[in-house]
Structure 1
Amino acid sequence: MSAFDKLFQEAKAARETAYAPYSNFQVGAALLTSDGKVVSGCNVENGAFPEGTCAEGGAIAAMVRAGSTKIDEVVVLADAALCTPCGGCRQKLSEFASNRQIKIHVANLEGLRRTFTMEELLPAGFELNEQIED
């Protein structure tokens, strides 16, 4: 099974557990970490909008909890033609991307719709500075 296939299955399973009583729009995300772990997350809505959590944010939290901090590949899955990460999630993914060329696959329930690199999705995101100037 390819990395994409494993991530697709994990994102699809995560989507099924999403808590989306307001929008009825379930999203799942799965990440492959640089140390070989696969973690996933789902969107969790909240009546105090926008206090919910996107699937990508949930997956990142699970990744950090599992002891990893670098992402090598991502699948985001929803029942939509093309559900790319929102702006905030693009920045969150960028924060943990192992490099600017990681693949971010966007899928629907049938399969892959399109693949982007981190650079394509967020060409001018905030960058972590190695040194802080006084």
Structure 2
Amino acid sequence: MDDKTRDRLIALAREAAAKAHAPYSRFHVGCAVMAEDGSVVTGANMENACYRLGLCAEQSALTAAQHAFGLGRITHVAVAGGPNSNGTIAGEDIITPCGGCRQAIAEAASLSGRDIVVISASATGEEVLEMTISQLLPAGFGADVLPET
């Protein structure tokens, strides 16, 4: 992936984070998911007063990806976010997917047969970490260990 495409994905993830519904944590996260053909969908975290019913940005974007082009076509996932202060997302800490989201990305990787690249960025997009899902979730549990039906 070239720098221009990577920067575009990070920018889209940052834009999605601005649209998050996070009134309780005030921590906004956005995610951009790219397919083989370069098409992109986004998602943001959506909190709920019943905390466990909240939805991570990655899960939101992966759901949109399944509907738009299918999980098996995903090549890259970009995540960015940080604390929201006065309507602006701030912070230099790199935001990586939580364990559950890593598992969901690994599911997409299993379907696609490729080691999906995960681009994690700070709120400003200036700090970036790029790893594959197998690096983020070593020895992960996947569909490959389940019996065939």
TM over 0.5: yes
Match for 1:75: what amino acid? A
Question: What per-residue deviation string (whole Å, max 9, x for no partner) do you get for residues 29-76 of structure 1?
Answer: 001112432011000001111111000000001111113223201110
Q: Does 1:103 align with 2:111?
A: no
CA contact 2:42–2:61 (8 Å) conserved in 1: yes
Moved over 6 A (4+): none
The 5 Å alignment of 1:15-34 reads: 15-34=17-36
**Partners of 2:67 and 2:148 in 1: CA distance:** 31
The 1:22–1:132 alpha-carbon spacing in structure 2 relative to 1, beyond 3 Å, is same
**What is residue 80 of structure 2 aligned with on the other side?**
77
SS at 1:129 equivalent: helix
Provide the residue aligned with 1:128 in structure 2. Answer: 143
Query: Map of 1:24-103 to 2, 5 A cutoff?
Result: 24-70=26-72, 71-79=74-82, 80=91, 81-97=93-109, 98-99=112-113, 101-103=115-117
Q: Is there any run of 5+ residues in structure 2 with no aligned partner, and where? A: 83-90
Greater fraction of residues in helix: 2
Q: Number of residues paired by the alignment?
A: 134
Amino acid paired to 1:108:
S
TM-score, normalization by structure 2 = 0.81
The one-letter amino acid paired with 1:104 is V
* Alignment of 1:118 onto 2:133: yes
Give the aligned residue type for 1:61.
T
Q: What one-letter code is carried by the residue in structure 2 that aligns with 1:72?
A: T
